[in-house]
Structure 1
């Protein structure tokens, strides 16, 4: 109702629903009496006069997955008002829009699909694009260090973006050893297919994950930006009900709707750092991402080596994300992110004067670049923090 599902009441079936089997479902509404039959057998009769009129449609959520065909709607006197075997276009159906809410961006089609769902998801993406080319058909992938899983999803489903979740902060105080390998895979597949990459940021404790500090929230954001992320999402915003299981502790918003200190931390990150720096990075293309003085080097990470842009990196461990504009004009951007989410770092980065002419540091407070008078950059960063530089090419 008004763009949201409204349940009359759940009714358990007396038989098992078999995957891959078609069922004939019929719903009759007479006044306030709703009668539902499956394959000619009545499975429920409910009296509810709340909704005297409205549209017909279908809904799936969570792990639900179904196909629909041969739809027919008739009036009480037998007049057919809608029939569709889906052999043509979808002009008879109205695209979902959350009741016309201005906040509507698209549909959350599926979360963490296995490969056996990809063909179905590809069909759903095509349907959504036909119904409303401007609506986002959103799918979020499982955390995975299997490049074939991500590649198959991209090639079969043909999504409009590449989103995944991986929550790196373990309850024993360590970090997920596969975190950077997963980012490497997603980055590579996103670049190969020309897709923006999105990630979820861990905001609370659950299962074998710990509660993040403000610096750990910022660290997840910044290493993700260094790896080319174009979308930052938070899991979870509202703490799930305890009935869900998994032992979720308060996230940004508690179960009863109260803000936690991490809400304020995330708000500060979003407003004072992510929004301004995101406007700079969003149109750019990731050129490289390397780790300097990160010992031992995490799985999937590429160790920094001197090249035609950066000739020397000394000091503490950092992640260097380098970007170019789509026109390949010669200007580059360098994001230097503190590799540590618990300690400050100081890193000196030297640029090659044969390649780099002018350097400017991005000021997120003003949204402008401040010229630097040297090609030796000193990044003095709080735990989890980062700094962005623009590198203009040397005159030739």
Structure 2
């Protein structure tokens, strides 16, 4: 099914009618992003976590009940424990995890040590081990045909010394098993990170990665949004912007890792902050999220209150993440796997060198209390239909926020608790009015809460695409 759909989805253009105006053509790279996301075969928005477990130490916890808890919390593509590929019992355990995942419509990113990016002889990162491809072939023989295998974990945060070989290792995985989706995580940007990554500009680092690895997706992690105050917001949104723009340039989706465990100066996120991280990432165009991290395993440094603590008990963080993710799936299902970001704006001020909101043919006005932060993501589907995601961009304050959709012909559609699209206000709306400016809808939004609409009008259909 995956291979049949791809040629149909990636094309020169797909057009649609919205009102009396013809929608603009969907550029090939935007269509390719949607096609790649749908080729993952998850059926819902990709959600993962960093596990850091291994079967030797933690295998007794990795039973069917554990996999059920992943599924019940709304995860769709978790990371597996690492394991000893020379131990038949551990390999059989991974097969059971895959079987249990398949029964719950999940896939796993397998942390197989044979597939990690590795240096050549004597730790030389200028070359790849001569038998690396043999290890990939063995891993694929063991697990590559299982329908719950998403792909193998390549590695994390390649720097200047290792990136060339790291990218080659990813490419080898794609050459050996083109039907799988290797997972690799890149460095985040921060002032001066270019030297660490061995690049002159961050866009060049990201483009080099996609080009040299033949990557299926671009992933990174950044946690500055969880330092006290708004100090880290610029870095958070700068990374979202840089990775979103790399997505547009290269035609592959990007995933963002969010914070689920307090450590260093990063605070333990509460429910509102978990929802804020999730919804701002989706509104900023990411096609997947991960959580750092899921299992505490044992006390270390000042890490605390991960979703599963050092006693293997579920913390409030687990239940908060579960609530956010289950609600998102219930409202929106696979919607955001079928959309691609076209514009992200802020009101009244921008973060991370982003764009301050300016009226267009989709939304002409944002109404909010003076100084209250608002985030607005705009999207398109393969039929050229336009969508918006409004997010209360405060972590602490609820607010009544309005949007005006211009045009006398404008219609809006949203999604109910059963995931069905209907014409009318979003679930969180609090009144609407029509006048010569168009349709204005107000919403009471808690911190990080969202409202999502499909917008149908002549002016929306004429809005150009990036």
Task: Give TM class, smaller chain.
Answer: 0.7 to 0.9
- Cα distance in structure 1, aligned partners of 2:402 and 2:175: 52
Three-state SS of the structure 2 residue aligned to 1:249 is coil
Residue 223 (structure 1) aligns with: 280
The reply on whether 1:269 has 2:333 as its aligned counterpart is no
Q: Secondary structure at the match of 2:402?
A: strand
Contact 2:119–2:129 under 8 Å retained in 1: no
Deviation for aligned residue 1:131: 2.3
Matched, 1:254 2:315: no
Separation in structure 2 between the aligned mates of residue 339 and residue 392 of structure 1, nearest angstrom: 25
Q: Does 1:382 align with 2:446?
A: yes
Match of 1:153 among 203, 209, 233: 209
Distance 2:216 2:88 in 1: 36
- Say if 1:310 and 1:349, in contact at 8 Å, map to a contact too: yes
Q: Map of 1:118-129 to 2, 5 A cutoff?
A: 118-129=163-174
The residue number in structure 1 matching 2:220 is: 164
Q: How far did 1:365 drift?
A: 3.9
Cα displacement (A) at 1:138 = 0.7
Q: CA RMSD in A?
A: 3.2
Higher relative contact order (CA 8 A, sep 6+): 2
**Deviation for aligned residue 1:99:** 9.1
Q: In the alignment, what sits opposite 1:349?
A: 403
| Structure 1 residue 240: Cα displacement | 4.8
Per-residue deviation, residues 146-168 of structure 1 (Å, max 9, x unmatched): 33332322232231001111113
Distance in 1 between residues matched to 2:237 and 2:88, nearest whole Å: 51
What secondary structure is seen at the aligned counterpart in 2 of 1:265?
A: helix
Deviation at 1:136, TM superposition (A): 1.7
Partner residue of 1:68 out of 121, 124, 129: 129
Judging by fraction of residues, say which structure has more helix.
2
Q: Is the 8 A contact 2:375 2:391 kept in 1?
A: yes
Q: C-alpha distance in 2, partners of 1:203/1:175?
A: 19
Q: How many residues align?
A: 325
Q: Indicate if the aligned counterparts of 1:350 and 1:377 stay in contact, CA closer than 8 A.
A: yes
By how many angstroms is 1:175 displaced?
Answer: 4.4
In the alignment, the residues of structure 2 paired with residue 130 and residue 139 of structure 1 have an alpha-carbon distance, to the nearest angstrom, of 16
1:303 maps onto 2:359 in alignment? no
Aligned pair in 2 of structure 1 residues 187, 255: CA closer, same or farther (>3 Å)?
A: same
Q: Is the Cα contact below 8 Å between 1:90 and 1:130 reproduced in 2?
A: no
Alpha-carbon offset, residue 97 of structure 1: 4.6
Q: 1:94 to 1:347 in 2, by over 3 A?
A: closer
Please tell me whether residue 363 in structure 1 is matched to residue 416 in structure 2. Answer: yes
Match of 1:82 in 2: none
2:203 and 2:413 map into 1 onto residues whose CA distance is: 37
Show the 5 A alignment for 1:305-320.
305-315=358-368, 316-320=372-376
Secondary structure (helix, strand or coil) at the match of 2:162 reads helix
1:178 and 1:96, CA in 2 relative to 1: closer, same or farther beyond 3 A?
farther
Post-superposition Cα deviations, 1:44-66, rounded to whole Å, max 9, x if no partner, equal xxxxx9889x9xxx945878533
Contact 2:260 2:269 in 1 (8 A): yes
Normalized against structure 2, the TM-score is what? 0.63
Tell me the distance in 2 between the aligned counterparts of 1:113 and 1:189: 17
Q: 2:392 aligns with which of 304, 325, 338?
A: 338
Report if the CA contact (8 A) 2:413-2:421 is conserved.
Answer: no
Cα displacement string for residues 329-379 of structure 1 (whole angstroms, at most 9, x for unaligned residues):
xx211100111011112111111106x621122224443334247521212
CA contact (8 A) 2:347 2:366 kept: yes
Q: Distance in 2 between matches of 1:141 and 1:90?
A: 23
For 1:177-192, what aligned pairs fall within 5 Å after superposition?
177-192=234-249
SS in 2 for 1:209: coil
Could you list the runs of 5+ residues in structure 2 that have no partner in the other structure? 1-53, 58-85, 92-111, 121-127, 191-201, 426-431, 462-466
User: Is the Cα contact below 8 Å between 1:362 and 1:390 reproduced in 2?
Assistant: no
Q: Structure 1 residues 91 and 147 mapped into 2: Cα distance closer, same or farther (>3 Å)?
A: closer
- The answer as to 2:384 corresponding to 1:323 is no
Distance 2:363 2:56 in 1: 58
The 2-side partners of 1:348 and 1:158 are apart by 42
Q: Distance in 2 between matches of 1:292 and 1:144?
A: 24
**Based on CA coordinates, which of the two structures has the bigger radius of gyration?**
1
Shift of 1:95: 1.2
